[in-house]
Amino acid sequence: MSALASGSPAKPAPPYLPLTRPTIDEATIAGVAEVLRSGWITSGPNVKALEAKLSEYCGGRPVRVFNSGTCTMEIALRIAGVGPGHEVITTPLSWVATSHVILEVGARPVFVDIDPVTRNIDLDRVEAAITPATRAIIPVDLAGLPVDRDRLYAIAKKHGLRVVEDAAQSYGATWNGKRIGALGDFVSFSFHPNKNVTTIEGGALVMNTEAEAKLAEQYRLQGVVRTGFDGMEVELVGGKFNLTDVAARVGLGQLPRIDEFNGQRRELARVYFELFGRPAARALGLQLPVADFTQTNWHMFQVVLPAGPRALKRAEVMAQMQAAGIGTGVHYPAIHLFAVYRRLGWNDGDFPLAEATCRSILTLPLFPTMTRAEAERVVDTLTAILTPHLTP
């Protein structure tokens, strides 16, 4: 008998659980309104203030902010003198922007397969990919788990290479007790709405010297250098990459809360590991991320779905999760198998470990205001979807 026929009310469906949700407090919203009323809404005092806070966070290193975490990497490559005829080593498991910026400066991406446990670039394979044309390495801290900085920089120093750290996902993470961004060569952060802190859209580039920072400022705004009231010179071809004061004010409200946000993410990750350790969930055969509660910022919680003749395709799993009111994501398809990169000569089978992971990786909801009950709902739903398809 239906609930309607029996006279009992139907149980309401639980609210939709998104993959991620930014946390913007009322003080920040009020601060944005103040910026809008001020009449100075493009790059101005809030941008300067945000850069100063980020520099302080990164141990006093020069930092400049931009309108994305993509242009930051392109600008770093340009400052490093990377261009046509050069090669840059990177991973095939990342957002496609990581390799697009290499093409943007006229260089060639050289992909290196991943470590299937960390899902980061396999540093054991990097030196074999270095040629006389290699000028830089772009490692990616996937899901906020840092690449081994000691080994990375030992390789770079040995071969005289620049490093552009794609730390888009690892703001607030650490390596050996030091904040990502406080050490190293170029470090690129993203403040997209799905990141651990946001400026709505935006990014930052951490550099080594004030000379590099000045050059970054030129690339940020059409290559222009101003002197006095009316002096203007254009010494290089730049772009339109500046951050607005509206966005910067959002960032100023976010930065003081990074430890709070990351602490909440860390606790939710612990809950996920606990729940996936229960017998029914453990039987699914999922590959879980590295259980690092010291250095990672838990930007994402990703599982790799089981393979096998009876296994559901990822798209079907995502569709059933969506039908149950739960958002999921794919981070990421293998870069080298996109048409742009196939035309440059890459094919299926070139990086089998990355390809296997990219076919089946699934990102589950994780954000600071998410509750334990919601994590239980995610795991219970995923378990119910996958269990009928386990290989006997």
Residue-range domain boundaries for the chain: 26-257, 258-389
What is the spatial distance between Cα 62 and Cα 38, in angstroms, rounded to a whole number? 28
Portion of the chain with pLDDT greater than 90, in percent: 94
Mean pLDDT for all residues in the chain: 96
- Bond from prior residue into 16 cis (ω within 30 degrees of 0): no
Please write the tens of the pLDDT for every residue from 279-303: 999 999 999 999 999 999 999 999 9
Q: Of residues 11, 48, 178, 195, which has the active-site annotation?
A: 195
Q: Give the helix/strand (H/E) hosting 372.
A: helix 372-386
Higher-confidence residue: 153 or 10? 153
Taking the C-alpha atoms of residue 358 and residue 363, their distance in angstroms, rounded to an integer, is: 11
Does the structure show a pLDDT above 70 at 6? no
Q: What is the CATH number of domain 26-257?
A: 3.40.640.10
Query: Residue 110's pLDDT is what?
Result: 98
Q: Are 198 and 250 in contact (CB under 8 A)?
A: yes
The pair of three-digit structure tokens given for residue 142, joined into one six-digit string: 């996937």
Q: What was the pLDDT predicted at 105? A: 98
Asked if the model's pLDDT at residue 369 lies above 60, the reply is yes
Place of tokens 């990102």: 363
Render pLDDT for 14-55 as a digit per residue (tens, 0 to 9): 999 999 999 999 999 999 999 999 999 999 999 999 999 999
CATH of 258-389, one of 1.20.1300.10, 3.90.78.10, 3.90.1150.10, 3.90.1640.10: 3.90.1150.10
- Compute CA distances 359 → 272, 303, 307, 333, 348, whole Å: 22, 12, 10, 7, 12
Q: Which long-range contacts (CB under 8 A, 24 or more apart) does 251-254 make?
A: 251/50, 251/65, 251/191, 251/197, 251/198, 251/199, 251/202, 252/28, 252/31, 252/46, 252/49, 252/50, 252/53, 253/24, 253/25, 253/27, 253/28, 253/31, 254/24, 254/28, 254/191, 254/197, 254/198, 254/199
Compute CA 288 distance to the chain's CA centroid, rounded to the nearest angstrom.
18
Tokens encoding 177: 């007790």
3-class state of residue 44 by DSSP: coil
Give per-residue pLDDT as tens, 341-364.
Answer: 999 999 999 999 999 999 999 999
User: d(Cα 379, Cα 301) in Å, to the nearest integer?
Assistant: 12
Q: pLDDT at position 310, please?
A: 86
Tell me the per-residue pLDDT of 67-111, one tens digit each, with 9 for 90 and over. 999 999 999 999 999 999 999 999 999 999 999 999 999 999 999
When pLDDT is averaged across residues 376-390 and rounded to a whole number, the result is 96
Query: Is 178 tagged catalytic?
Result: no
